[in-house]
Every structure is written in C-alpha cells, then in structure tokens.
C-alpha cells in the first residue's frame, strides 16, 4: 500500500499527464467527470457501510 505522500504524488503526476494534451474546455469537462465519478463512488461506499452496519445489503 502506498503512503499518503506517494499517493498524492501519483495523483498529481496523473493529473499533469491528462491535462497536458487537453484544451481548457476539455480539461473542464474531464475535471467535472472525475468529480462526478468521485462523488458517486463516495456515495456507493457510504451506502455499503450503512448497509453493512444494519446487515441489509443487497
């Protein structure tokens, strides 16, 4: 498992690689897409945690 410094360095490197070939407009769209993806994954994780607490996941 990566430590927090390695994790953030990797994410920064990935962001720079993605951004370097995109226009500002494309970058805004990709950024919004990843924000939405992250929010949805957080919602799924929270829902799973809650279901596991009450033992009712489907």
User: What's the CA gap between 35 and 57, in Å, rounded?
Assistant: 26
Tokens representing 47 are 């829902």
Q: What is the pLDDT of residue 58?
A: 62
Q: Which helix (H) or strand (E) holds 2?
A: none
pLDDT tens profile 9-45:
999 999 999 999 999 999 999 999 999 999 999 999 9
**Phi, psi (degrees; rounded to nearest 5) at 35:** -65, -45
Report the SS3 class of residue 20: coil
Residue 54's pLDDT is 84
Please give the Cα distance from 48 to 43 (Å, whole number).
Answer: 9
Flag whether the pTM goes above 0.85: no
């Amino acid at each position: 498992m990566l430590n927090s410094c390695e994790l953030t360095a990797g994410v920064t490197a990935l962001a720079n690689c993605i951004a370097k070939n995109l226009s500002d407009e494309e970058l805004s769209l990709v950024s919004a897409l990843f924000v939405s993806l992250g929010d949805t994954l957080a919602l799924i994780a929270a829902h799973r945690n809650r279901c596991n607490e009450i033992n009712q996941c489907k």
